[in-house]
Structures are given as structure tokens and as C-alpha cells.
Structure 1
Amino acid sequence: METLDPRTIMLMTTLMCGAMTIVMFSVYRSFRREVDGLGHWAAGLLLLVCASLLFGTHGMLPDVVSLLGANASLLLGIGLSMLGTEKFYGQKPSLRFYALACCLGTAGLAWWLLVRVDFSVRVAIFSLTVFLFYARQAQLVWSHGERHFSSLFFGGLMLLQAVVVVTRGVSALLQGGVSLVDMLAAGTRASLYLAAANFMALLLTVAFMTVATRRLQTILERRSTHDPLTQVLNRRGFGDAYAREKAKLRRYRRPLTLLSIDLDYFKLINDRHGHAVGDQVLSHVAFVISGALRESDCVARFGGEEFVVLMPDMAPHHALSAAERIRTLLCAPNGQGLPPCTVSIGVACQASEHEELEQLLSRADTALYQAKEKGRDRIEFDIVGLTGACAPSASMVS
């Protein structure tokens, strides 16, 4: 049966790795702030291309250049992918381990290539080194990866690759047959092994791109629903949250209350202290409001210094207590050197299941304007159209 020449397989691998390198670098340049580790993977792929080119010069250039250079490039490239995976999962890169493994691995390969020539030992040294890199990445996915198909696919491939390379290393030591483990040798078995090894290298890159794309999708989805400065919901995200809670309102007939919160004299803070400090104040306010709420409550920034809070299954008198807690916390010293600030709050309760968000917001804003007109730093409740259990007593209103 005719088999592919190893050099042909190397050429095909070089072309495919080169294409993937371009793709990875393009993604890195576009999303390096959003997804860590892309640069390391891109550089690792580039080193794999260099290794493939060097392997292709075997027999034309000295072994110290073709074989030792190619294997050293492979070690460096696979190690860089490990560092990239560590960064991707928010772990400190193992730079010392990477440097030590690459130096010792390359030194061992050089010794058994140039001083005491033994192909089997070289295979074992190389296999053990890259096994450590692959096993580390599999462990990272197991410990820090989300339970999603993309992570399971990536981690499974890493584990499979780790098993394959360590099996190859053990086979080289135990059997000592060059033909069984020499990927550059002619023959069907060697060609199949070489093709599978190169295919796995490309498949691992695709798998990492899959988990990176999943991460990027999550980030972009969050950006579409969250305010980038304060990290609370934006109008779109708040609208989605309101739609979900309104559906529950129709089903369970539970009260739904909304707070409209506006910082008092925020323009003076920007004028006196600058917009950078103003942004810090807004972030602090969002943090305080979020900390004063239940997990089921939703807080959003509607632009400028205006915040809105949705409180499902919250009776009006409890909502007023929560609003007073927010007002009091924001009046207290913040301990961060930020200028003090107060807020005015308007409170409105969903009148019926037929009322839309814009109507509820309008009534809460009306109550907010009343708080502003009455001196600011206070809470007002909108009681238009509310009777019975939905209407608070006058003593509850600040």
C-alpha cells in the first residue's frame, strides 16, 4: 500500500499550522484584553511551524540544527500553550517550571543526540517533558473549566494527548525499536502515527479556540446587558430582568416594587473633583446599592447618575426600609477618600399585571422628582392609583 512521505505530511502540517497561527494572532490582536492566553498560544503555534520546517531539513542540514532545533522548538511551543492555558484560567504562569523543563529537556536531547547517540532515550526525554505540559493543561481544565462541552472537549483532548505521548516514551524505552516510534521513518505505521500526531496538534488548537470563543461569547453577552463602568445592569439588561419578573407576577400574584435613585448635586462633584473621581463615586454608589439588596433584586444604571432597582416579591413597606438603608449607607463616610454624596429615591409599586415598565418607571420618577423638590436626600413613595396593601403609611416615608 502506498504511504505518504513524511516530508509531505510535514509540509501539510506546516501549511495548516501557519494558517492557524494567522487566525490565532488575529484573534489575539482583537481580543487580547478580553481573553488571556491567546498570545501565548499564537506564539506556541508559530514555534510549531518552525519545528515542522526544521524537521523538513533533516538530512540536508546537520542534526544539531534540524533535529535538536526542531525538538527544542516543539518543547518551547507546547510549553507556551501551557502558559497560555494557565493565563486563560486566571492562574499565575509557571515560568520557572517552563524554563526548567525546556532547558533540561533540550540538554538531555542534545546529550543523547551528539554525545551518546540513543534515539529511544531521546524519545523518552521528549515524551516525558511534553507529557508534563499536557497533563498540567488537563488538570487546569478539570479544576477551573466550566462544565460545558467546549471545556470537556478541550480537556479530553489534552488528557488523550498526554496518554499518547507518555505511551510513546515508554514504548521507546521498553522496546527500543526505532521503527515503532520514529515519526520520520518510512512506512505505513510511521506515516499514520506522524499524521495522527500532527492532526492532534491542530485539533488541540481548535479546541482551545472553542473554549476561548465560549469565553468571548459570555463576555460580549455580559457587555450587552451590563454597564461597563459600574458592572450593574444597563437598560437592556434591566428590561430583560423586568420581563422575567413580570411573568412571575402574572403567575404568582406577588408584589413588584421599583426604586428610582438619583445622586444629588452630582454635577458639582464632577466640576470640583474631575470626571475620574466622579466615575469612582458612581462605582462606589453601585457597589453600596448592590450590597444593600437581596440576591433576587436587580440594580441597573440608566445613564448619568441615575440608578434603578427592581425588587420582586417585595411589599412596599419593606421596599421603603431597603431604600432607607441605601440612603443611610451612602450618607456614611466611605473610607476611600471619595467626596460624600447623598441620593434622592422614588418608590413605586407595580399597579397591575397590565402595567408596562415605562409606566412604572414614570411613576417612580415622579416620586423621585418630589423628593428633589422637597430638599433632596429623602425618599418619596408614589401612591397614585394604589390602595389597600400596596399603599404605605405616611410614617414610613422619609
Structure 2
Amino acid sequence: MHKFSLPAILRLFFTLHSRTNPGAGKHVRRHSTVPCTDSAVNLDPVSIILMSTLMTVAMCVVMFAAQRSFPRNVEGLREWGIGMAGLVLASGLFGLRGIVIPEVLLPLANSMFLWGVGLLMVGTQRFYGVRPSWHLFHGAWLLGLLVMLCWLYLWPDFAMRVAMFSFLMLALNLTQFIVIVRHGERHATTCFFGLLMLVQALAMLHRGVNALLGGAGSDMMHGGPHYNLYLALLAFMTLLLPVGFITVATRRLQTLLEQRSNRDPLTALLNRRGFADFHARHSARQPLAVMSIDLDFFKAINDRHGHAMGDRVLVDVASVIRGVLRDSDAVARFGGEEFVVLLPESQQARAELLAQRIQAALRQPRPDASLPHYTLSIGIACQAAEDESLDSMLQRSDRALYRAKQLGRNRVEVATPALLSPQAPQHICLN
């Protein structure tokens, strides 16, 4: 890959011209101030750093725009935006090389770069709900500053500076990779982000070990045999790592929007749409059982204690029902004080047992002593045939619930199978 700079273009032109006109070539070489070397095929560090800086600026703007647009519970975007702004500032400091003396410039630029990458780590940890490693964050950039001062002033050694800087970067990137593996969702976006972070960590490891083995070169402009590969990877990762984080953040946003469309905002239970989707996914796990649950005298609770207390009672009911169900069961709030439970792979005996457990839980002292006493009426319908629809089961469980209300409330009624001749439903009195 050729450098797109005026000296490189001149060298390329002079080389081609000398091949077609040897005499002219000698004349050019004698009077040209640009040495004809093989460095024309190398990557230009200044161009790579400039390109990486421009991409970082663009992704920094994207991060801040996403942070303003995404819900607040999608965390980490702010830290990523500020961290990338720190990387831009570090690149700007590196750009002052030749204007500011290296003894002042290099410690500031390198420590600022570590500060920015450390904040990216904090953002990743916040996104996955992990406590931020502030000790590692501050330790990395402060130790980076100390390393630069020691091997720049006391024992000048470019290779040691490169090695220590690379190992500090490795610690920050490896910490993020571990967080992604442990707490990331099993999804393609997580794999993509984790793979990018692993590649970045391995690049830092290679750079650090190579520096200790004498492959660091003499300075930033002459970085050793693998420096071109390192520069190319740096340019790619500057763009790909923020893209990887945006992909997992977008996936999180998609999940939140799906939950909001399928969940009741007060109780966090499924709504009608979510309940129908759950049934569609688990309808093959027969036999199915349905419980229709209704809060007794809920209007009186609202009238006597207020609607705020009524909402707290509904949340408590949801907690009680969830507490007795399996993870494979589903409970939804259909509106007002009406709840519906779907029990895959459940016979009538199990449905009755769960109803009794719900009633028993309500007879125990409530964790919130300020809640008024309340009771529930429950209607149960078990699948009468493999082809019986969910609507048919809900109608039968509703009829059983209505009969429980008629017979005095605070009880459980089991509906008669739809294919049998009508008769009085079975009932369990829990008074």
C-alpha cells in the first residue's frame, strides 16, 4: 500500500521515469532531495493516525447522538462517547509532535489515550450491569504516566515504553472481553463485539511481547518489522470497536421495545399480545391448563384506599402468582384486576395445586404490612382435546371464575371439559 503524500508520489514518478530513461533517472537522483528507498511501500504512521482520529471523531458523534436517543436503561453510551473524545484529544496531542518537546508531550498523550480506553471499559461494564472497575481505570492511566516518565527521563528506553503501554492496554481490553463473555446475551451481535475485543487484546499482547524481544523499532515513525500490520489493525479497530458496541446497544434497544410491546407497564407481566405469543410458541407442549384469576372486591379497595394503593395491590398479586409458577409457565394481566395463567405440560391436578398455593400465600402475612387484606377467585380449565383453541379454554376458565364469584368468592372452580355434557363444575372451597 503506497503513501498518498507528495513525497511518495514524487518518488514513484522518479522511479518509473528512471526505468524508461536511465539518463534522466541519474539526473533526477543527482539533484533530487528525496531519497529513493523502499519505504514508499510502507504505511505512513502520520496518515494512519490522522485517518483513525477522523473516524474516532465520527464515532464519538454517533455515540453521543445514540446516548440522547436511547432509553436511559441502555447504559454505557455516555462513557463510550466521552472515552472516544479522550482518544481524539490524545491523537491531537500526538499531532503536536515537533511543536511541543517530547518530554512533555509523550507522557500527556499516552496517559490521555489510556484514560480514554479505560472509560470505554467502564462504559462496557455499565452496559452489562457490572460494577465499574474504577481502580483499574485510574491505575491504568496513572501507571501509564509513571511508565512514560521513568523510561523517558530516568532510563530512556523506547522499547520498554511500548511494552508497558501495550500491556496496560491489554489489561483494559481483556477486562472488557471477560465482561462480554460472562454477561453478554447469546446473540450474533455479542459474538461480533466480543471477537473484536479479543482481536484487539491479542494485538496488544503481540505488540508488547514483540517490543520486549527487540522489535519495537526506534520511535513512533519507525516501529519495527510488524509495525505496518499494527497500524492497519489500529485503523480498523478504531472504527469496528464502536460499531460493535453500537450493535449490542441496538440489540438491547430492540429487546426493550419488544418487552414494552408485550408487557404490562404496571406489573411487568405479559399483556394480551405477549400471552398470545407465548401460547403460539408453547402450544405443542400439551396438555395445557389455563387459570383465570380475579381480585375480589377490587373496586372497594380503590374507593376506600385510593387508586395508588390499588396499583400496589395489583403489583403484589403479580408477585404472589409469579412466586408459585415455574419458569416455563406464563402469567399475564388482561386488564384491570384480571390475570390469566398458562401452564404447559400440566394436568388438572397440578393446576389445582398451584391455585391452592396461591390462596395459601395470600393467607400468610404480606411483606408490605400497609397493604389491605384481599382475596382471589380462580377458575381453571384444562385442555379437553388436542385441537381445542386457546379462546375455548379461556371461555371455559372465565365461566368457572364467574361461578366462583357467584358461590361466594375466595375459591377455586374447575370448568367442565367442553366435549362432555354440561354439568355442575367441580369446586374447591377455600373459605
Alignment TM class, shorter chain as reference: 0.7 to 0.9
1:231-278 deviation digits (Å, cap 9, x = unpaired): 3222112112223444444xxxx3x32211111222343444444443
CA contact (8 A) 2:87 2:116 kept: yes
| Separation in 1, partners of 2:265, 2:119 | 32
Change in Cα spacing, 1:140 to 1:245, as seen in structure 2 (3 Å) is: closer
Alpha carbons of 1:148 and 1:358: their partners in 2 closer, same or farther (altered >3 Å)? closer
More displaced, 132-141 or 291-300? 291-300
Q: 2:407 aligns with which of 353, 356, 374?
A: 374
Q: 2:188 aligns with which of 149, 154, 161?
A: 149
**Aligned partners of 1:348, 1:380: CA distance in 2, in Å?**
9
TM-score using structure 1 length? 0.86
Note if 1:336 corresponds to 2:368. Answer: yes
Count of matched residue positions in the alignment of Structure 1 and Structure 2:
390
Question: Which residue of structure 1 lines up, in the alignment, with residue 50 of structure 2?
Answer: 11
Q: Which deviates more from structure 2 when the two are superposed, residues 155-164 or residues 301-310?
A: 155-164
Partners of 1:245 and 1:161 lie apart in 2 by 42
Residue 331 of structure 2 aligns to a residue in which SS?
Answer: strand
Superposition deviation, residue 301 in structure 1: 1.0
| CA distance 1:296–1:151, change in 2 (3 Å) | closer
> Whose RCO is larger (CA < 8 A, sep 6+)?
1
Aligned counterparts, 1:1-398, within 5 A: 1-31=40-70, 33-63=72-102, 66-175=105-214, 178-179=217-218, 182-185=219-222, 190-249=227-286, 254=287, 256-337=288-369, 338-383=371-416, 385-387=418-420, 394=426, 396=428
Work out whether residues 5 and 186 of structure 1, in 8 Å CA contact, stay in contact via their aligned partners in 2: no
Aligned partner of 2:20 in structure 1 is none
Secondary structure in structure 2 of the residue aligned to 1:178: coil
1:362, distance to aligned residue in structure 2 (A): 2.9
Deviation at 1:353, TM superposition (A): 4.5
The superposition leaves residues 19-55 of structure 1 with CA deviations (integer Å, 9 ceiling, x where unpaired) of: 1111122222233533232222222111111112222
> Is there any run of 5+ residues in structure 2 with no aligned partner, and where?
1-39
The alignment yields a C-alpha RMSD, in angstroms, of 3.0
How far the C-alpha of 1:360 sits from its partner, in A, is: 2.9
Q: Quickly say closer, same or farther: Cα 1:344–1:84, change in 2 above 3 A.
A: same
Distance 1:392 1:149, change over 3 A: farther
Structure 1: distance between partners of 2:176 and 2:319: 35
Q: 2-side partners of 1:175 and 1:344: how far apart? A: 79
Cα 1:95–1:273 shift into 2, 3 Å: farther
After superposing the two structures, state which structure 1 stretch, 379-388 or 23-32, moved more. Answer: 379-388
For the 8 Å contact 2:411–2:428, the answer to whether it is kept is: no
Structure 1 outlier segments of 4+, above 6 Å: 186-189, 390-393
Q: 1:379 to 1:190 in 2, by over 3 A?
A: closer
Does structure 1 conserve the Cα–Cα contact (< 8 Å) formed by 2:413 and 2:427?
no
State the secondary structure of the residue aligned to 2:164.
Answer: helix
TM-superposed CA distance for 1:381, in Å, is 3.4
Q: Deviations over 1:196-235 (max 9, x none)?
A: 2232232222222233333333333333323233232221
- Could you tell me whether the CA contact under 8 Å between 2:60 and 2:84 is conserved in 1? yes
User: TM-score when scaled to structure 2?
Assistant: 0.80
Task: Look at both structures and tell me which one has the larger radius of gyration over its CA atoms.
Answer: 2
Percent identity, aligned pairs only, is: 50
C-alpha separation in 2, matches of 1:329 and 1:391: 31
